[in-house]
Chains A and B, each alone.
Chain A
Amino acid sequence: MIDAVMEATTVHPPERVRLQSTRGFSRVASPHELWRYRDVAIEIARRDITVRYRQTILGAVWAILQPVGTMVVFSIFFNRVAGIRSEGVPYALFSLAALVPWTFFSNALVMGSDSLVANSALVTKVYFPRVFIPLGILSAGLLDLVVAFVILLVIASAWGHPPPVQVLCLPLVAVVTVAAALGITAALSAVNARFRDVRYIVPFATQLWLFATPIAYPSTLVHGAYRIVLGINPMAGVVEAWRWAVLDLPPSWPLIGTSAGVSALLLVGGLAYFERVERRLADVL
C-alpha cells in the first residue's frame, strides 16, 4: 500500500545513479536528464512568465511598448534628423520590424545573464539541470516576442503592408534568434556566477550592440563582401530575416547564412562553457 503511494507520487521509479566527477557534455546535453526533470523546467518557465509583469500597471503591454518607444526615438533622430532612408517602406515600420526581435534579444541578455546569481538560493540547495534557469528567462521572453509580433503584423497591415507568404518562415528565424540568445546568455550567466562585473557590463554592451546591428539603418549601408563580416553579429542576420519575412524587403542571404552559422557556434560554445562552470557552480556562487 505504502509502495503504491510512493510509486504514484514520486517522479521516477527507483533508479541507480552513480555520482562522480564528470566531464564532456554529460550534463547540458543529456536528453535523459533534461526529460527526467522536465517538470522543473516547466515550473521555472511558468514562474518567470508569471512574475515578469506582476505588480505592473501595464502588464504585457510592455512587450510592445519597449520596441515602439525605441522606434519613435529612432524615427525622430535617424530618419528626420540624420535622414537615413528605409528601402521604400515607412521608416517607423522598417525600424519596428527589427526592434521586435532585438527587444527579445537584449532583454534575454540583460535578465538572463543575472539569472544564475538571482537563483543562487536554488542552485546551492537543490539539483536539477541548471540550464533550465536561463531557459526560463528565454521562454518568458518568447511569450513577449509572440505578443509583440502579432501587434507588429496588425500595425504593418494597417499601414498597407500585409504579411507576405514567407512570414511562415519566422519560426525558423526564431530558432536562430533563440540559439544565439541561449548560447550568449548561458555563457554570460556562468561568467556572472564567478565575476559579478558582468551585471554592469551587459546593459551597457547591449546598448552598443544595438547600434552595431542594422536596426536603425539598412544593412545595404554596408557594401559587398563586408556584408558577410556584418553577419558575424548574429542579430544582423536575424534582423535582416525579420524584415524579409514581415515587410518583404529583399534579403541578403550571405548575411543571413553567416549569422545562422555564427548562432549555431555560439550555442555550442556557450553551452560548453556553461557545462564547465555548472560542475562547480554550487561551490563558486
Chain B
Amino acid sequence: MAGHAIETSGLGKLYRLGTSRRGYGTLRETLVDAARGAFRRNGGPPDPEELRTIWALRDLSLTIDEGETVGLIGHNGAGKSTLLKILSRITEPTSGWADVTGQVGSLLEVGTGFHPELTGRENIFLNGAILGMRRDAIRRRFDEIVEFAEIAQFLDTPVKRYSSGMSVRLAFSIAAHVEPHILLVDEVLAVGDAAFQRKSLGKMDEVARQGRTVVFVSHNLAIIRALCQRAILLEHGRAVADAPVEVAIDQYLRALEQAASEDLLVRTDRDGRGWRDLLIRRVEIREHGTGRADVLVSGAPVTIAVETTESLPNTECRLTVLNALGQPVTTLDSEQPAPADQRDADLGRRIECEIPALPLAPGRYRLDVVVKAQRQIQDGLQAAAFFDVEPGVVGERPMPTSGSDGDVFLPHVWRLPG
C-alpha cells in the first residue's frame, strides 16, 4: 500500500461545439462552411456557432490513493464522464496531465465490443482481451465468468440470440473478473433484474475491499454512499468539493435544489444529444383542487406541466420521479400510450401529465424531465423540479404518519378473518 493510484494536475479538456451539431458533419457541410468562411474574411462578423467551445473539464488537480473508492458526483455535463474517459485513455486531455499507476479497467458501458454473430464463448475471449485480460487469464477464470453470468447452457449460442438480460449479465461478469489495479465505473450497476443488481453490487463491494482503487460515477447517491468513503463533486468541469462522501452528497443535493429554483433556460447541464429544436422552459407541479404548488398531499390529484420553448409535431415526454437519494421511484412515459391520452393543438407549448391520485409516501422528491420530438431527445433536465409530499389519504385509507417503509403507498383493500 504505497503511493497514489491516480494523480492529476491542471487537467483540462476543451470540446468544440457547433460543428458537430448533428453528430457528424458531411463533406458538403464542411465545404459550405469553408466557402462561408472565405467570404466572411472580407468583413463579416464570425459565426458565433463556430466559436463555441466548452471546457468539459477545467484545471482539475486531485490525487486518489491506492485502494481508495471514490465517487464522482455532479450534474449532467459537469465533467464526470469526461474525466473517466481521460483516465481510461479513450480521449486525450487538452491541458495538464494525469499519472495513472497500474492497469486501468473501465466499465463505461457493459457489453462494449460484444459481437452479435460470435457465440458467448467467443465473446468472452474477445471482450476479456478488450478489457485488458491476457488469454491464459481468461482461460483460467472462464468457468467463474460463466457461472457468475448464469449462461452455461447458452455458451455456444451466438450472442444475438441472447435476451438483453443474458447479454448484460455476461458483459458484467466478464468485466467484474478482469481485476485491474484501477477500476473506473460509469453507472453500470443499473442493469439487469433486481437480483442481479444486488449480486453486481456485492461484486463491486468485494472488488473495492480487495484493495483495488475504484472510481465510481453514478446518479444513484445511495449506491455512492454505500460503496465510497470519499466523493468529488464536479460542477462545470471543476471540482467544487472533495470530501467525505456524506459532506459531498449534502453539497450536491443543495446545488440540485438551487438549480431547480433557477430559470430552467439558463441551465447548461442539459441532455440533448445535439438536437435542440426545443428547450424545457418551466416545470410546474400542482395539486388540482387547492392549486398549491410544490407541496402535495398523498392521494390527491396532481398535474405536472412542462412548458417548452417551441411546439413541435410528435412531441413525447418522459418524467422520472426520484427520491431524496436519487433512486428512481417511477417513470411516466407518453411513448407508452393509453387510450385516454390526448393530443391537443390548443395546448401550444405545454405538456400536461395528470395523476388521478398521487401514490407517493411523504418525503421530498425530484423530477427529471426528457422531451422528445421527431424521435430525438430534444432536451433533458435532471432535477428540473423538486416537490414535497405530505401524508394524505390513498384509496380511502389514511397514511401512517411514521413507520412506513418505501416511497410509494398503494391503494389497497384487505379481507381479514373474523
A residues neighboring B (CB under 8 Å): 2, 5-6, 8-12, 14-22, 39-40, 42-44, 46-47, 50-51, 54-55, 121-128, 193-197, 279-280, 282-285
Given known A2-B210, A16-B99, A125-B112, contact A11–B92 (CB-CB < 8 A): no
Question: Do A40 and B129 touch (CB < 8 A)?
Answer: yes
Q: Does B364 contact A (CB under 8 A)?
A: no
Closest 9 CB pairs of A and B: A127-B89, A43-B129, A20-B97, A14-B102, A9-B137, A125-B112, A197-B27, A19-B98, A282-B91
B91 x A122 contact (CB < 8 A): no
B89 near A8 with CB under 8 A, answer: no
A197 contacts which chain B residues (CB < 8 A)? Answer: 26-28
- Judge whether A15 and B113 touch: CB under 8 Å: no
Other 15 A-B pairs with CB < 8 A, given A9-B134, A47-B118, A126-B130: A9-B177, A18-B97, A19-B87, A19-B97, A19-B98, A20-B98, A22-B92, A50-B117, A125-B112, A125-B113, A126-B90, A126-B112, A195-B30, A282-B85, A283-B91
Which listed residue (B24, B113, B178) contacts A196, Cβ 8 A?
A: B24
- CB contacts (< 8 Å) of A124 on chain B: these are 90
Bound Cα distance A50, B125 (Å): 13
B331 at the interface (CB under 8 A from A): no
> How many Å lie between the Cα of A15 and that of B99 in the bound state?
10
Residues of B within 8 A of A126 (CB): 88, 90, 106, 108, 112-113, 130-131
Shortest Cβ distance from A285 into B: residue: B24
7 A–B contacts, CB within 8 A, in A order: A19-B92, A39-B135, A51-B117, A121-B113, A125-B106, A127-B106, A197-B28
Other-chain contact of A43, B130, B141, B211 (Cβ < 8 Å):
B130
Contact assessment for B137 and A10 in the assembled complex, using a CB-CB cutoff below 8 Å: yes
B99 contacts which of A11, A17, A123, A282 (Cβ < 8 Å)? A17
Contact with A along B84-125 (1 / 0, CB 8 A): 011111111111111111110010110011010110001001
Contact A15 B24 (CB under 8 A): no
In whole angstroms, how far apart are the Cα atoms of A128 and B106 in the complex? 12
Determine the chain A residues whose CB is within 8 A of the CB of B412 once the complex forms.
none
Whether B45 sits at the interface, judged by CB under 8 Å, is: no
Chain A residues whose CB sits within 8 angstroms of the CB of B134 once the complex forms: 9-11, 39
Least distance between A139 CB and chain B CB atoms (Å): 14
Quick check: B26 and A16 within 8 Å, CB to CB?
no
A14-B102, A17-B100, A40-B129 are known contacts. Are A195 and B88 too (CB-CB below 8 A)?
no
Cβ 8 A contact of A122, one of B101, B103, B130: B130
Q: How far is the CA of A124 from the CA of B106 in the complex (A)?
A: 11
The residue in chain A whose Cβ has the minimal distance to the Cβ of B137 is A9
| Cα of A10 to Cα of B136 in the assembled complex, Å | 10
Kindly state the separation between the CA atoms of A197 and B26 in the bound complex, as whole angstroms. 7
| Cα separation A191 to B182 with both chains bound (whole Å) | 34
Q: Does B330 count as interface, using CB distance less than 8 angstroms?
A: no
CA distance A8 to B139 in the complex (A): 12
Residue from A10, A21, A44 within 8 A of B103 (CB atoms): A10
User: Which residues from B are CB-within-8-Å of A121?
Assistant: 109, 112-113
State A239–B337 Cα separation when bound (angstroms): 62
CB-CB under 8 A for A122 and B97, given A47-B126, A282-B85: no
* Chain B nearest CB, measured from A81 CB (Å): 38
Residues of A close to B28: CB separation below 8 A: 197
**Chain A proximity of B31: nearest CB distance (Å):** 10
Q: Is B289 an interface residue (CB 8 A)?
A: no
Which residues of chain A have C-beta atoms less than 8 A from B192's C-beta? none
> CA separation between A19 and B94, bound complex, in Å?
10
User: Known contacts A10-B180, A20-B97, A196-B24; is A15 also within 8 Å of B140 by CB?
Assistant: no
Q: Is B368 engaged at the interface, CB distance under 8 Å to the other chain?
A: no
Q: Using Cβ atoms and an 8 Å threshold, which residues of chain A touch B115?
A: 47, 51
Q: How far is the CA of A22 from the CA of B92 in the complex (A)?
A: 8
CB distance from B77 to the nearest CB of A (A): 15
Taking the complex as formed, is B181 at the interface, i.e. its CB lies under 8 A from any CB of chain A?
Answer: yes
Chain A, Cβ-Cβ closest to B115: A47
- Set of chain B residues within 8 Å of A8, measured between Cβ atoms: 137, 140
- Restricting to B56-106, which residues have a CB under 8 Å from any CB of A? 85-103, 106
Is residue B367 contacting chain A, with contact meaning CB distance below 8 A? no
Contacting residues, chain A, for B109 (C-beta < 8 A): 121, 125
B101: which A residues are within 8 A, CB to CB?
A: 14-17
B132 CB-CB contact with A under 8 Å: yes
> Is A40 touching B130 in the complex (CB atoms < 8 A)?
yes
Name which residue of chain B comes closest to A52, CB basis. B117
* Distance in angstroms between the alpha carbons of A122 and B137 in the assembled complex: 21
Q: How far is the CB of A206 from chain B (nearest CB, A)?
A: 18
- When C-beta atoms are compared, the residue in chain B nearest to A20 turns out to be B97
Complex Cα distance A21/B178, Å? Answer: 28
**A residues near B129, Cβ cutoff 8 Å:** 39-40, 42-43
B contact residues around A9 at 8 Å (CB): 133-134, 137, 140-141, 177-179
Across-interface contacts of A194 in B (CB, < 8 A): 24-25
Chain A residues near B178 (CB-CB < 8 A): 9-10
Structural contact, A10 and B181, CB atoms closer than 8 A:
yes
Q: In whole angstroms, what is the CA distance A89 to B137 when docked?
A: 54
Q: Which residue of A lies closest to B131 (CB)?
A: A126
Bound CA–CA A56/B207 (angstroms): 43
What residues of B have a CB within 8 angstroms of the CB of A21 in the complex? 92-95
